[in-house]
Each structure stands twice: as structure tokens, then as C-alpha cells.
Amino acid sequence: MSQLAPALDLARINTELGRDAQALVRWAVGLNQPTIVTTNFRPFEAVILHLVAQAQPGVPVVWMDNGYNTEATYQFADAVTKQLNLNLKIYLPRRSRAHREAVEGATPALDDPRHAAFTEEVKLEPFARALRETAPKVWFTALRATDTAVRAQMDPVSINPDGLIKVAPLLHWSSKDLYEYCEQHGLPNNFDYVDPTKGEDNRECGLHIAH
């Protein structure tokens, strides 16, 4: 996907900038490549959105709205989008929640064989569609090392097999760091958040394994 990716000295970039979120964002924006930032409007998502929007106003903000979000999450999404003047791009599953539940019933449990297909339908397929339509070379994500065992092994900057440069400026931030950033910049927050594809806080949803 990118002729730029092979030329990057990832070891040097991660060593020099990996724990300086603002500097890492400026570096990535300075690549002058098509860029997106993904969000799910979970707690502290305003931090990545503020960091990236300050450095690159108008950057496409991709949200895979699975249709199962809480009222507070939808309200938070509207509030932070308005406050930061985000260029929000919403990607919905091919079927509505009402359609899916009418045919297949409630959300399948984590140990249900149908759960993988559910995750594919409400999260992975919409994200694949978003990647096709936005065609980014750089992807900002708010993932953190404390989220899951998989993420604990990641570097702040990595290159996916398809050449997409994935940048995680907040990888080494604590919840305290995120809270203080929100307070400092007057950013809204949301703690009433549920991800039906994960079920448990420390479980991968598949997005960062597939991409």
C-alpha cells in the first residue's frame, strides 16, 4: 500500500518519539500521507482525537458504530465531535441491530460459535470498508499497552502487512495521564461504554489482530 513504509527506521522512531505523544503525532502528520484516526468513543477517547485534530484539522475520524452503544456514548460522540469540529465518518454494519436481532436473536455470548461472525459483521467488515473508502497510509489509534496482552507487545509505530503505518501515541499512557490531559484541555469524557464484541475489558475484539 505504501512505498514510504519500507524506508522508515522504526527502531529509531520508537526509541526517540515513542513516549512523546505530541512529537509522535507531529512526526506522523509530517509524513504528509493520507491519514485517518479511529475511535470508538470509549473512556478517554477525546485525548487521541484532540491530539490529532490539533496537529491535522479535518483528518477523517472513522467510527465503526456497531449499533449497540449506550446513550451516554452517543451523547459523548456528538459532544466531542462538536467541540473539536471533527470530520467524523460513521461506518455502520450492513444490517441494523433491529434487523439482526429479529432474525438471530440477542448478541451471542463470547463462547457462542456465532460470536466471531457477529464481530465480523458489526466491526471488522465496516472497518475494512472504511479502509477501502478512505485509503489511508497512516492510521492513528488510541490503543494502550495496558488494554490487553497483545497490545502490551506492540510498539508505538508499526507497519501492517499491507503497508499501513499504525501509530499509537498513547500506548504508554496511564489512565491518570489521560484524565489529567482531559482536565487540562477541558475535554468531555465517557465512562458508560460497552463493546459487545469484547465482553471483557482485557479481551481483544479482533481489530488489532486482523490489522
pLDDT in tens, 19-50: 999 999 999 999 999 999 999 999 999 999 99
Give the position of cell 473539536: 84
- The predicted pLDDT at position 3 comes to 59
pLDDT at 204: 42
- pLDDT at site 149: 73
Do the domain assignments include residue 10?
no
Residue 176 burial by Cβ neighbours in a 10 Å radius (0-12, 13-18, 19+): exposed
Looking at the predicted structure, is the pLDDT value of residue 88 above 70? yes
Tell me if 20 is assigned to some domain: no
Band (152; pLDDT cuts 50, 70, 90): confident
205 is catalytic: yes
Give residue 7's pLDDT band: very low, low, confident or very high (50, 70, 90).
confident
Q: Is residue 7 part of a domain?
A: no
Half-sphere exposure at residue 107, Cβ-oriented, CA atoms within 13 angstroms: 18
Q: Is 101 helix (H, G, I), strand (E, B) or coil?
A: helix
Query: Residue 68 domain-assigned?
Result: yes
Question: What's residue 209's pLDDT?
Answer: 47
Decide if 171 is inside a domain: yes
pTM for this entry: 0.90
Marked catalytic residue, from 21, 205, 207, 208 = 205
CA distance 79 to 112: 35
d(CA 75, CA 62): 17
92 within a domain of the structure (yes/no): yes
Residue 172 Cα distances to 16, 78, 117, 123, angstroms: 14, 27, 32, 25
Residues 6+ apart with CB under 8 A from 202: 147, 148, 149
Q: Worst-scoring range by mean pLDDT, 67-81, 94-108, 147-161, 165-179? A: 147-161
Instruction: Quote the number of domains for the chain.
Output: 1
Place of cell 479535518: 58
What's the pLDDT band for 109 if we cut at 50, 70, 90?
very high
Residue 23 lies in a domain: no
Domain limits for position 51: 33-195+204-208
Residue type, 186: G
* Residues pairing with 160 in the sheet: none
pLDDT band at 90 (very low <50, low <70, confident <90, very high): very high
Q: In whole angstroms, give the CA distance from residue 116 to residue 99.
A: 18
Predicted confidence (pLDDT) at residue 202 exceeds the cutoff of 90: no
Residue with C-alpha cell 467510527? 63
Question: Within a domain: residue 15?
Answer: no
CB 36 within 8 A of CB 90: no
Task: Inform me whether the pLDDT recorded for 11 exceeds 70.
Answer: yes
